[in-house]
Structure 1
Amino acid sequence: MELEFRHLRIVIAVADEGSITRAAAALGLSQPSLTSQLQRIEKSLGAPLFERVRTGAVPTAFGRSVLAKARTVVSGMADLRGEPPPVPASGRVELRLGGFPGPLLSVVTTRLADLYAQQQGPDAPRPSVLVHTDPSAAAVLARVKAGRLDAAVVIDYLGFEIPAVEGVRRAVVVPREPQFVAIAEDHPLAAHETIDLVDLADEDWLVDPQEDHGGVGPLRHACRAAGFEPRVNHQISDASSAREFVSTGQCVSLAQPTSTEGRGLVVRPFTGDPIVERVDLAWRDPCPIDPVLLHQAVRDAYLAIVDRNTSYSRWWAARGALADPLA
């Protein structure tokens, strides 16, 4: 069987309704007909999409993967037709949220659900948040502009900001977030509370080529101000591989201050904060979630991860601040 657009709608309806019976009613089909079609879809894909349980139907791990792709296709088609993004038949609000890789978005989704319940009442269906990560802020903002994302949490290096994107609104969440450095735990500087950038003049550096400027622009600027040219010998996007190179002492790299230490590496602040970025919330009107509520969720989530790194917890206590809430 060749998979068709209508089959994606069936899969999404079953997931949103949590029941084949309710999905059939929402789609105007009989239950036997929908069950038969779903079985053919699963046979075509080669694995079950849903686990049949006493309370209805729950997506399998494979089903969740297929659902993420199906929602992207259906939303993209709606955008091409100039239609509003599809709303789950259950009436549950759906938010497509983008951002940079790291722990923040996971905490945002949890905090957003709590704030939404407080605003709408405990009996209101919790919002469904679909997440897309990309190390490039420009790429994420382009997806928001195109309507493929509703909102995003992005970072901008101060002095290397991404130009404003037409149709995309932005608000600052964290005005100043310092870049830290990741080094091997047995590095001679690992015992220091802060590290002078000039003390790393003889090190090889690792950058993520998918970041805006390849991560190189702000690094080169700061190193040149310190009197040396950095040796950028490794360009690696995979986080696991990057950690292996740093933890074995082959190079050092810039790191988010909320990065988790351990498994052979430590994350330390630079003396004087020579490389600083900003954390923003970006969104496209109309946004399925009130931007004021979303901004608060990002603020709360950020505060929740500050203490994941002891060095950053100390830095934040002395110099950290959040932007004012949206009015």
Structure 2
Amino acid sequence: MNLELRHLKVVCAIAETGSVTKAASTLGLAQPALTAQLQRIERTLGGPLFERDRRGARPTALGELVLARARVLLPAMKGLQDEAARLAGTGAALTRFRFGGVNSPILGGLVHRLAADQPHAQISTFASWSVDELAQMVLSGRLDYVLSGVCGDATPSAEFGLTWRAVANDAVFVLLPEAHPLAAHDEVPLAALGEERWAAAPGDGCFADCFAAACARAGFTPRKIYETDIRSCIDLVEAGEAVALAQATFRPVSGLVTRPLANTPLRWRLLLGWHPDAPAAAIADRVLAQAIAAYTDSLSRNPHYLAWLASNPNFGPQDLAAA
């Protein structure tokens, strides 16, 4: 049998979990099948790689040698695959747009604009709650661009080497039923919501921590937070069971209103990201301009936010030259 990368992954999985049974579960294999595979690997390499007893599996001296080489080879091969995937699209960048989005309010508008501008282009989308997952997909060549948001002046992780440019800078609003006593206010002090229950979508950024800190500054700790998808957040607000933080460009829903939080204790920046070495980088400025235009289009459906922006010029769409 010739030794392959998949065999090295097996050895690493057993070492990392300390158990053939646990490694089998991690790899999605039956334990007897993984045991038989390990035995074939050991025969190929000329000796046992693990000492196995009721306490688990521990690498032998030969096993440590194989693991040392595997921990160099596997990341190197992954890097090669990622680089190849990014460069494979060279020459097709103007005819293919693969977007990932984290609850992006402008994804539909951006797709519409690109489809009208380039009717023969192939456009696809992928949704995730995790900006890190989407950034990894850009790094590996499976996506071209990411639309995501961050709170305040935060930036996404630099681990994946993406370039990030701002599309817009928004105040965070609160979503309320029309019958809520605060719905008639032009702005809502965060402190006035101290007795409310909250609905929120999941995510992997710092927004939850920033929200908790803002509540603490306002003198309260949120009573309860329901973490669920956007549609269920709306359902909870409609039912009067919760209020929700919302992007200022949130599409109006009958029976609900969005109101700015007084003194803008929370901000949300919408960003577009891409890898600087990928073909997508060559037309990133063009895509960014379309994203800013799609955001501007979205303002027309929210006259309350438009009126608020007139008095708060530091918010809203980002100037392309300064993006």
Query: For the superposition of Structure 1 and Structure 2, which TM-score range results when normalised by the shorter chain?
Result: 0.5 to 0.7
Correspondence for 1:268 among 251, 259, 267: 259
Partner secondary structure for residue 231 of structure 1: coil
Q: Which residue of 1 aligns with 2:109?
A: 107
Q: Which residue of 2 aligns with 1:95?
A: 97
The 1:80–1:292 alpha-carbon spacing in structure 2 relative to 1, beyond 3 Å, is closer
Segments of structure 1 that go 5 or more residues without pairing to the other structure are 1-75, 118-124
Q: What aligned pairs does 1:1-327 form with structure 2 within 5 A after superposition?
A: 79=81, 82-83=84-85, 93-115=95-117, 117=118, 126-174=120-168, 176-213=169-206, 215-236=207-228, 238-284=229-275, 285-288=277-280, 290-318=283-311, 319=313, 320-325=315-320
**Structure 1: distance between partners of 2:250 and 2:106:** 10
Segments of structure 2 that go 5 or more residues without pairing to the other structure are 1-77
CA contact (8 A) 1:98 1:152 kept: yes
Which has the larger Rg? Answer: 2
**Structure 1: distance between partners of 2:179 and 2:320:** 42
**Structure 2: distance between partners of 1:170 and 1:241:** 30
User: Shift of residue 250 of structure 1?
Assistant: 0.7
CA contact (8 A) 1:79 1:85 kept: no
CA contact (8 A) 1:258 1:307 kept: no
The percentage of counterpart residues that share the same residue type is: 28
The 1:168–1:314 alpha-carbon spacing in structure 2 relative to 1, beyond 3 Å, is same
**Structure 1: distance between partners of 2:99 and 2:227:** 27
The 1:305–1:79 alpha-carbon spacing in structure 2 relative to 1, beyond 3 Å, is farther
- In the superposition, the TM-score normalised over structure 2's length comes to 0.66
**Structure 2: distance between partners of 1:261 and 1:91:** 35
Q: Deviations over 1:21-53 (max 9, x none)?
A: xxxxxxxxxxxxxxxxxxxxxxxxxxxxxxxxx
Q: Deviations over 1:146-188 (max 9, x none)?
A: 22211112111115443323431111222x2111111112111
The 1:235–1:145 alpha-carbon spacing in structure 2 relative to 1, beyond 3 Å, is same
User: Shift of residue 139 of structure 1?
Assistant: 2.7
Partner secondary structure for residue 194 of structure 1: coil
The 1:254–1:90 alpha-carbon spacing in structure 2 relative to 1, beyond 3 Å, is closer
**Structure 1: distance between partners of 2:154 and 2:321:** 25
CA contact (8 A) 2:149 2:271 kept: yes
Q: Give the AA of the match of 1:148.
A: R
Q: Which residue of 2 aligns with 1:7?
A: none
User: Shift of residue 87 of structure 1?
Assistant: 6.1
**Aligned length in residues:** 240
Q: Give the AA of the match of 1:280.
A: L
Q: Deviations over 1:3-23 (max 9, x none)?
A: xxxxxxxxxxxxxxxxxxxxx
**Structure 2: distance between partners of 1:146 and 1:88:** 15
**Structure 2: distance between partners of 1:153 and 1:209:** 16
Q: Give the AA of the match of 1:191.
A: A
Deviates more, 1:106-115 or 1:303-312: 106-115
Q: Deviations over 1:246-274 (max 9, x none)?
A: 11111111111111222332111111111
